[in-house]
Amino acid sequence: MKKEKELYSGKAKSVYTTEDPDKLVLLFRDDTSAFDGRKIDQLARKGMINNKVNAFIMTQLERAGIITHFDRLLSDDESLVKRLEMLPIECVVRNVSAGSLCRRLGVEEGLDLNPPTFEFFLKNDELHDPMINEYHIRAFGWADDDDISVMKRLTFEINDVLKQLFFEAGILLVDYKLEFGRYHGQLVLGDEFTPDGCRLWDVETREKLDKDRFRQGLGGVIEAYEEVARRLGVTLD
Ligand code: TMP
Ligand code: ASP
């Protein structure tokens, strides 16, 4: 399937229409951003690694019965996906404390969260993705009651599948962000699942293997993403 015209270009991916009105091409770029786009860099190979890791994760989720937008890999850095009408909402589940949770609540990093927490954020860089709740979502019509319960149910089902999958690879799934969209009326998982949008720590050493290496200037960003791919059994070259 060929790319036709660019529909949208985000911070790390570009989206193209195709001859099929129900399908889009996602191009995973090497651009890497943090802090709502205030820190930006180009990391060679990142687009390819994320495309392949995302394809692997989406395929595993489909196998577990979760409907995603993923159709198939097209090339090293492109995938074919269903065209969704995205909700402007980010769903975050945390199994271990880190990031904005620690800043907001003054808790230390690395505490087990049992049960895991669930948070909604509004997808809006200018407003720094503020945290919102179900009342905001309903009041502003970003989604309805059914959508809210489907997003919560799917996000936790995905947690069960992915926590296990990463654990078997010696990786702790600390937290992650998901986005959903509508496909012919049904809410399905969209966007991506890559080390850009989650926190992954080595189970033993708790070494960070995700975008926090970039956010915190720790170096070895691509090496860490490659290590995640290697441990999951994703073939890169
Ligand atoms: P946070 O600790 O910054 O709130 O992020 C929680 C998790 O969600 C972390 O794995 C990063 C991911 N995330 C994104 O990838 N993009 C976003 O815009 C937000 C709010 C979170
Ligand atoms: N993805 C967002 C950004 O690029 C948030 C982050 O990952 O820090 O700004």
- What residue owns the CA closest to ligand 2's atom 6? 34
- The ligand that comes nearest to the alpha carbon of residue 215 is 2
- The ligand that comes nearest to the alpha carbon of residue 198 is 1
Q: What percent of the chain stands above pLDDT 90?
A: 98
Looking at the fold, whether 35 and 92 belong to one and the same domain comes out as no
Looking at the fold, whether 105 and 206 belong to one and the same domain comes out as yes
Looking at the fold, whether 78 and 90 belong to one and the same domain comes out as no
Looking at the fold, whether 105 and 141 belong to one and the same domain comes out as yes
- The ligand that comes nearest to the alpha carbon of residue 208 is 1
Looking at the fold, whether 53 and 91 belong to one and the same domain comes out as no
For residues 150 and 145, give the distance between their C-alpha atoms in angstroms, rounded to a whole number: 9
Looking at the fold, whether 50 and 100 belong to one and the same domain comes out as no
Q: What is the CATH number of the domain that holds 56?
A: 3.30.200.20
- Report yes or no on 233 lying in a domain: no
Q: What is the pTM of this model?
A: 0.97
**For every one of its 237 residues, what pLDDT tens digit does the chain have, with 9 covering 90 and above?**
899 999 999 999 999 999 999 999 999 999 999 998 899 999 999 999 999 999 999 999 999 999 999 999 999 999 999 999 999 999 999 999 999 999 999 999 999 999 999 999 999 999 999 999 999 999 999 999 999 999 999 999 999 999 999 999 999 999 999 999 999 999 999 999 999 999 999 999 999 999 999 999 999 999 999 999 999 999 998
Looking at the fold, whether 211 and 104 belong to one and the same domain comes out as yes
Question: 197 CA distance to ligand 1 centroid (A)?
Answer: 6
Looking at the fold, whether 144 and 75 belong to one and the same domain comes out as no
Residues with CB under 6 A from ligand 1: 90, 92, 99-101, 121, 129, 175-177, 197-199
Three-state DSSP class for residue 36:
coil
Burial zone of 86 (CB within 10 Å; 0-12 exposed, 13-18 middle, 19+ buried): middle
Task: Count up the domains in the chain and report the number.
Answer: 2
- Report yes or no on 232 lying in a domain: no
For residues 115 and 65, give the distance between their C-alpha atoms in angstroms, rounded to a whole number: 23
Question: 34 CA distance to ligand 1 centroid (A)?
Answer: 10
- Report yes or no on 196 lying in a domain: yes
Q: What is the CATH number of the domain that holds 123?
A: 3.30.470.20
Domain enclosing residue 55, as ranges:
6-82
Looking at the fold, whether 102 and 190 belong to one and the same domain comes out as yes
For residue 99, which atom of ligand 1 is closest to its CA? 2
